[in-house]
Amino acid sequence: MAITERVILSVNGSVDEWKDALKFMIQIMSIQDGHLRARYGPHTEDKQKIELLIGWESIEAPKRFQSSPAFQEMLSHVTPVLAAPPNILVIEFKPYAPAEVVDAPFVQMITMQQGTSSEDDLRAQITKFKGFEGCTGVASGLSLDDVDGKGKAFVAAVGWDSLEASEKAKESMAGLLEGAESHLVDFKWDFE
C-alpha cells in the first residue's frame, strides 16, 4: 500500500537562509529505497511554512529511512533552519495523490478531525469541490495514526488552476470547512 507523508516545516529566515537545507533533504530522500516522489512548496498564506508530500511504496519504507545514517545526516542539515518541530501526518490517499491534483498550479490542503464521520462520508463531502470551475481533481484519506489524542485526521488535497477559483469554492463550501485547517500550497514552486 503506497502512503504519503505530509510534512509541514516552519522555517526561519529568507529562502536563501534555508533553501540549501531543503534541497539536501529532498536529494537524500529521493535516493532512498521505497521513495516514489516528493512535491514541496510554500503555503501561499505563510511563506515561512513549507509543505512536503512525500510518496513511499509502503509504510515500512520511511521507517527504514528514519533508522538510517542518511536520515540523521539529513536532520543535521534541516534542524538548524526550523522554527518549530515538523508537523507530520502519514496518509493513505485515495486515489493515490494523482498528478492532476499535485501538479495543479495551487493545491488546497484541508485537514479535519474524523470525528464520528466515516471516511466515505468525508470523501463524499470533499468530492463536491470537483463541481467547481477550476478544480483539477481531489484526493483524500485518513491519517494512519491518531493525532494529538483526538482520533484520526482526514486530509484532502484539492487541485486548483487559480487562486481565484479556490477562493470562490472556499466561500461556497464554508460550512464543510468549518473547524478545518485549510491552506493553499504552490507545489510548482522553485528555490530561485
Question: Could you tell me if 24 and 104 lie in one domain?
Answer: no
Tell me the three cell numbers of residue 137.
Answer: 481533481
pLDDT single digits (tens) 109-168:
999 987 778 889 999 999 999 999 999 999 999 999 988 888 899 999 999 999 899 988
Tracing cell 534555508 back to the chain, one arrives at: 18
Last residue of a domain, one of 63, 91, 119: 91
Domain of residue 135, residue span:
99-185
- For residue 175, pLDDT over 80 is answered with no
Tracing cell 504552490 back to the chain, one arrives at: 186
Per-residue pLDDT band at 1 (split at 50, 70, 90): confident
- What pLDDT is attached to residue 172? 81
Q: How would you class 76 by CB atoms within 10 Å of its CB: exposed for 0-12, middle for 13-18, buried for 19 or more?
A: exposed
- For residue 192, pLDDT over 90 is answered with no
- What pLDDT is attached to residue 170? 81
Q: Stretch 158-179: mean pLDDT, rounded? A: 86
- What pLDDT is attached to residue 98? 78
pLDDT single digits (tens) 67-84:
999 999 999 999 999 999
Last residue of a domain, one of 57, 91, 125: 91
Last residue of a domain, one of 58, 91, 124: 91
Q: Is residue 192 part of a domain?
A: no
Is there a cis peptide before residue 95, judged by omega within 30 degrees of 0? yes
Taking the C-alpha atoms of residue 130 and residue 37, their distance in angstroms, rounded to an integer, is 25
pLDDT single digits (tens) 9-66:
999 999 999 999 999 999 999 999 999 999 999 999 999 999 999 999 999 999 999 9
| Encoded amino acid at 186, one letter | D
* Total count of domains within the chain: 2
Buried b (16+ CB within 10 A) or exposed e, 11-24: beeeeeebbebbee
- What pLDDT is attached to residue 116? 77
Task: Show the CA angle centred on residue 162, arms to residues 160 and 166, nearest 5°.
Answer: 60
Q: Name 109's Cβ contacts closer than 8 Å, sequence gap at least 6.
A: 6, 51, 155, 156, 157, 182, 183, 184, 185
**CATH code where residue 14 lies:** 3.30.70.100
